[in-house]
Chains A and B, each alone.
Chain A
Amino acid sequence: MKRLAIGLLSVLLLTAAACSKQAPTQEEAKQQSEASQQKLVISIPAEPGPLDPAVSMDNNAWKLTYNSYERLIEYDGEKTDLVPGLAKEWTVSPDFKVYTFKLEPGHKFADGTEVNADAVKFTFDRILKVEKGPSDAFRKIKEIKVIDPYSVEFQLKEPNPLLLPRFAGNYASIVNPKVMEHEKDGDLAQAWLSSNTAGSGVYQLAEYKKGQYYKHTPNPHAKEKPAIGTVYFQINSDVSAARLKLTKGEIDIAEGIPVEQLLELEKDNHINLVKVPSLLVDYVYMNIGKGHEALKDKKVRQAISYGIDYQAIIRNIQKDTVIQLRGPVPEGLWGHDANAKMYNYDVDKAKQLMSESGKTGIELTLLYSATTPIWEPIALALQNDLSQIGITVKLNKVAYATMREMLDKGEFDLSLGMWTPDTADPWEFMSPWFDSESWGLSGNRSFYKNDEVDKMLREAASIQDKEKRLKLYQEISKIVNEDAVYAYLDQRQFLLPISDKVKGFKYNPMLDGIYNLENMSISE
């Protein structure tokens, strides 16, 4: 009996030991479950600034949070059309002074709280109180009224027919009002939201390791469940090392790789190079208002526009990854004029215009910064091209922050620059660029002033009739092209090397550099 009891006890103990060995600890279970999930690693070249949607105006920060939030309206996949987001429907009053949104019930923040009209009001009130860059998009709002838990009304100080697309921008991301629990010294939780998320998007920022990575995991309460379990945005400051990691399969997507290296990567069978037309344009500002006296003469500006060998830049520097920009509004955006006047390289014509202007011995500065590596060879090409028509160009390479200040103050003659729109409206390439009220960094970087153009621009911005606006913009295009306000260099393509394991990536020109993570997956 005693032996039997001992035997039974031994069996029991052994079974218990075996069981305890089989049952993983909570930590092990978590690790196992994470290991079995799909993981996506995206390499970014630098750590962006604050992530708070009410603070950031930087695409590099937006891409880290866009999928963690939802907005009242959203962009439709690859198209620039607006589709319902948190709002299932909306109305705009005939006088464009009242925008009303009806929310779809059932959207939840990552903590399980439902998204309602109070959260919408809180978000926009907060943006206006924080008063940073994003507040500019909504400064015409007078009051936000909660009509019922799922209806919210925006009353404007003055009519604005162009406000709707702003609600699809990153800055209009709806924030959980509970963030105020993290408020410190009346900062409206800015410090906390600079490295955390509080939205109802499919992902939430689960971990941020300073200088190393941002780790996103699915929002457990989101309406849709993404295929990828963990998304890392890893900071790889050296792009050559990032390229190597991509070819070795350690990362899935590598940003910031220079054009010439991208074309090399294209030869790798396991890497797809995404190439789609974007709305990012490169152009040269000619400082009419505050720059060299000679630039006030239209003939000199036209001579410069004819004196640039656009095709050589496109072929030799941009490696045929761009197209020449025709007119101010790029191809792919409504309002683009396929018949707009395009300045082509014509040295004889440029020389003739220079001699008609009677100006000789002109010496102009050309401003650019090292932040965009391709600017250096473009600057050298321009220096060479313009020397052929008797203009000496002195290169002025400065830090990016310095460049921005000099652009704002108009302390340059010529400058390289680029521009990308926030909304799918030609207004983005018209009013900021040519309205004399936007002199400086906010858009009109050639410090151009033309009363007739100002009048037409303001009229086009105040009406919603697409045809009327189109006509006005075409009229304006003719005038500013004739005035040679800017030299339009090129319209870029969006280029992204991406592992062939990654499926479902879609590029939307309105969300440049932002990933549609909810539709992406990894195939092993």
Chain B
Amino acid sequence: MWAIIRNRLLMLVLVIFGVSFITFLMSNVIPGDPARMIVGVKASEETYQRVREQMGLNDPLYIQYLHYVKGLLSGDLGTSLRTQQPVLDDLITYFPATMELVLFTFVVAIILGVAIGVLTAVKSNTVWDYVGRIFSISGASLPVFWSGLMVIILFYGVLGWLPASERIDLFVDAPPTITGLYTVDSLLGGNMKAFNNALLHLVLPVTVLAFAHLSTISRQIRASMLEVLQQDYIKTARANGLSSGLLIFRYALRNALMPTVTVVGLSIGSLLGGAVVTETIFNWPGLGKYVVDSIANLDFPAIMGFTIMIASGYVLINLIVDLLYMALDPQIRE
């Protein structure tokens, strides 16, 4: 087990350098000059050139990259051109919002995905199966920008039941930061008003995002369950008179979960980096929104910092998936 952890951490270092190199190269190939973004459209050539020099943009590319790597080794991801703040500080500020959204989505998507997967497998080729599959497939097929807008119009505009966007009402004080997750921090501080408000704000974005992701889980569970349910040991257990609840959840689901763990792991990774549209529609101040604004302003240090963070996240999630495999399957442990 330690060997796996060691190898994966080594891989993490390689990934960080690989990603930083590729992103750096790409950001220099794309036309668009960050110095121009800073000085404004009406600045003179003299001012523009001076700012280029100040930013080190006149140095050869490899020198610029070496400067970046030097900073990276000391935990410095550079300064955002747009916000003028250290990129690391920005990422730390925006990360909890995304994490909170992803965690809640993850829980909802797993519960619903597993439930639909099991139901459609057990009741395969019945009305339940068709309805469950259509439901989960429609989640994957409907674009988030459309479903997001529809739920906002319905639940905020027409019914007025739920807030349209943000993490908390403008006039409700956010809880003091402990973890950065408003629901957790408000609970820790015993602030139920903030907790309820933050929870209400989570409902729409989590529903939309979970709806879009649950089909991956439910389809995987359905396929694995159908396979497992045909196994001899299940038939034997059934012949021995085991109750169907025990049979499905104790014996079949546990074995069907194995391949699902990988899918879920990858889906968390894609949620972390891919909640961009959801965050934009629901005005969710997370990493997705940060990176969209950074791309629009050609804020290369911010874009690179974000990419490195997400790539590292993927490697770490893969490591967790491997460790979970070991916990679920004794053969791998051995």
A binds B: yes
Which A residues are CB-close (under 8 A) to B94? Answer: 210-211
Which B residues are CB-close (under 8 A) to A136? Answer: 42-44, 47
Given contacts A244-B153, A441-B36, contact A401 B280 (CB under 8 A): no
A248 within 8 A of B: yes
Which B residues are CB-close (under 8 A) to A287? Answer: none
A404–B36 Cα distance when bound, in Å, is 8
A190–B152 Cα distance when bound, in Å, is 39
Contact assessment for A57 and B281 in the assembled complex, using a CB-CB cutoff below 8 Å: no
**Residue of B whose beta carbon sits closest to that of A187:** B84
A194–B90 Cα distance when bound, in Å, is 13
Q: Give the segment of A84-92, A221-229, A233-241, A339-347 that binds chain B.
A: A233-241
A440–B46 Cα distance when bound, in Å, is 13
A442 within 8 A of B: yes
Given contacts A238-B281, A405-B33, A441-B41, contact A50 B84 (CB under 8 A): yes
Contact assessment for A212 and B285 in the assembled complex, using a CB-CB cutoff below 8 Å: yes
A5–B318 Cα distance when bound, in Å, is 74
Nearest CB of B to A78, in Å = 24
Contact assessment for A238 and B40 in the assembled complex, using a CB-CB cutoff below 8 Å: no
**Residue of A whose beta carbon sits closest to that of B30:** A402
**Residue of A whose beta carbon sits closest to that of B47:** A136
Q: Which of A382-416 contact B (CB under 8 A)?
A: 398-402, 404-406, 408
Which B residues are CB-close (under 8 A) to A406? Answer: 31
B166 within 8 A of A: yes
Nearest CB of A to B55, in Å = 11
A55 within 8 A of B: yes
A232 within 8 A of B: yes
**Residue of A whose beta carbon sits closest to that of B53:** A131
**Residue of B whose beta carbon sits closest to that of A47:** B293
Given contacts A401-B33, A404-B32, contact A57 B40 (CB under 8 A): yes
A191 within 8 A of B: yes
**Selected A-B contacts with CB under 8 Å, 24 pairs:** A46-B296, A47-B293, A133-B38, A135-B47, A194-B85, A209-B174, A210-B285, A212-B285, A213-B170, A234-B166, A235-B285, A236-B283, A238-B283, A241-B149, A241-B164, A244-B157, A248-B160, A398-B31, A402-B32, A404-B33, A408-B36, A432-B42, A442-B41, A442-B42
**Residue of A whose beta carbon sits closest to that of B44:** A136
A151–B163 Cα distance when bound, in Å, is 54
Which A residues are CB-close (under 8 A) to B50? Answer: 131
A57–B30 Cα distance when bound, in Å, is 24
Given contacts A402-B30, A432-B42, contact A236 B165 (CB under 8 A): yes
Q: What is the interface residue range for chain B against chain A?
A: 35 or more
Number of A-B contacts (CB under 8 A): 158
A405–B31 Cα distance when bound, in Å, is 7
A112 within 8 A of B: no
Which A residues are CB-close (under 8 A) to B296? Answer: 46, 371, 399-401
A218 within 8 A of B: no
Neighbour of B47 across the interface among A131, A400, A404, CB < 8 A? A131
Q: What is the interface residue range for chain A against chain B?
A: 35 or more
A106 within 8 A of B: no
B39 within 8 A of A: yes
Contact assessment for B33 and A190 in the assembled complex, using a CB-CB cutoff below 8 Å: no
Which B residues are CB-close (under 8 A) to A241? Answer: 149, 152, 156, 164-165, 281-283
A378–B283 Cα distance when bound, in Å, is 29
Given contacts A234-B170, A241-B164, contact A50 B42 (CB under 8 A): no
Contact assessment for A405 and B32 in the assembled complex, using a CB-CB cutoff below 8 Å: yes
Contact assessment for B166 and A212 in the assembled complex, using a CB-CB cutoff below 8 Å: yes
B289 within 8 A of A: yes
Could you give, for residues 285-305 of chain B, a 1 whenever the CB lies within 8 Å of some chain A CB and a 0 otherwise? Answer: 110011011001110000000
Neighbour of B42 across the interface among A57, A195, A232, A405, CB < 8 A? A57
Which A residues are CB-close (under 8 A) to B125? Answer: none
Question: Which residue among B174, B280, B292, B293 has the maximum number of chain A CB atoms within 10 Å of its CB?
Answer: B293
Which B residues are CB-close (under 8 A) to A484? Answer: none
Neighbour of A133 across the interface among B31, B42, B160, B171, CB < 8 A? B42
B8 within 8 A of A: no
Question: Which residue among B30, B83, B282 has the maximum number of chain A CB atoms within 10 Å of its CB?
Answer: B83
Nearest CB of B to A414, in Å = 18
Neighbour of B43 across the interface among A57, A191, A234, CB < 8 A? A57
Contact assessment for B165 and A58 in the assembled complex, using a CB-CB cutoff below 8 Å: no
Could you give, for residues 78-99 of chain B, a 1 whenever the CB lies within 8 Å of some chain A CB and a 0 otherwise? Answer: 0101111100001001100100
Q: Which of A441-455 contact B (CB under 8 A)?
A: 441-443
A132 within 8 A of B: yes
Extra contacts besides A49-B81, A190-B84 (15): CB < 8 Å: A41-B170, A47-B293, A58-B40, A133-B40, A136-B42, A194-B85, A209-B174, A238-B149, A238-B280, A238-B282, A241-B282, A245-B165, A405-B36, A408-B36, A440-B45
A118 within 8 A of B: no
A46–B40 Cα distance when bound, in Å, is 17
Which B residues are CB-close (under 8 A) to A210? Answer: 83, 90, 93-94, 285
**Residue of B whose beta carbon sits closest to that of A439:** B45
Q: Which of A37-75 contact B (CB under 8 A)?
A: 39, 41, 46-47, 49-50, 52, 55, 57-58
Given contacts A55-B38, A57-B42, A132-B47, contact A209 B285 (CB under 8 A): yes
Q: Which of A120-137 contact B (CB under 8 A)?
A: 131-133, 135-136
A331 within 8 A of B: no
Q: Which of B66-121 contact A (CB under 8 A)?
A: 79, 81-85, 90, 93-94, 97
**Residue of B whose beta carbon sits closest to that of A50:** B84
A422 within 8 A of B: yes
Q: Which of B253-305 contact A (CB under 8 A)?
A: 280-283, 285-286, 289-290, 292-293, 296-298
